Amino acid sequence: MESFGTSGQPGPRTGFRIEEAHAVTPELIDTLMEIDLQTFSESTFSEYAAAAMLRNGHVYLLSFGDQVIGTCVTMRCWDRPNEAMILSMGIKPGWRGQGLGQHFIRGVLQKLRQRGLRSACLYVSTDNRRAIKVYEDVGFVVVERGVGVSFDRSELNLLRVTFQESQPVIELS
């Protein structure tokens, strides 16, 4: 298990770990459901979907001690196979606003890059100023505006970060 500093390198945030979930357990499904509920004020996926995310996607956990305090669900994009989609990212309420969001996303991006992925994308509500700040600070840029509506009817933008410009993202038609 590794810990990462805000530079994405192993570093100063001692006690916090970023690791990939490797098992589908009832506890992890509960944690994903709990953080989803705390993120969006209502459940946006079922237990069945949570198990599928754990089994078929890559789920990253931010932990402190033996407590999981954040989750980040990623999937490989169907039409851009070397791009990861960040489906959801959330930190438990008492842990927000301390720089952990940026620490977490940097660590996740580093792990995706190590897996050979070339870029990552996500949808974020235009109202979610805090999340947008975190994503833009680590290099995400808006690539499409008004691409849909969120569960709460707010507008969504598509953001993307490319890891290495020299290695193009493959697009399948």
Q: Does 145 bind ligand COA (CB under 6 A)?
A: no
Q: Does 129 bind ligand COA (CB under 6 A)?
A: yes
Of the candidates 39, 118, 45, the one whose C-alpha atom is nearest the C-alpha of residue 77 is: 118
Distance CA 47, CA 53 (A): 10
Q: Does 33 bind ligand COA (CB under 6 A)?
A: no
Q: Does 107 bind ligand COA (CB under 6 A)?
A: no
Q: Does 154 bind ligand COA (CB under 6 A)?
A: no
Q: What minimum distance in Å lies between the beta carbon of 128 and ligand COA?
A: 5
Distance CA 125, CA 57 (A): 22
Of the candidates 158, 153, 107, the one whose C-alpha atom is nearest the C-alpha of residue 132 is: 158
Give yes or no for a contact between 99 and 149, defined as CB atoms under 8 angstroms apart. Answer: no
Q: Does 62 bind ligand COA (CB under 6 A)?
A: no
Residue of 22, 55, 130, 145 that binds ligand COA (CB under 6 A): 130
Total binding residues for ligand COA by CB under 6 A? 18
Give, in order, the Cα–Cα distances in Å from 35 to each of 42, 83, 109.
10, 24, 20
The residue among 116 and 153 lying less far from ligand COA, judged by its C-beta, is 153
DSSP state letter for 76? E
Q: Does 3 bind ligand COA (CB under 6 A)?
A: no
Residues of the shown chain interacting with ligand COA in the complex, contacts defined by CB under 6 A = 39, 89-91, 96-102, 124, 128-131, 133-134
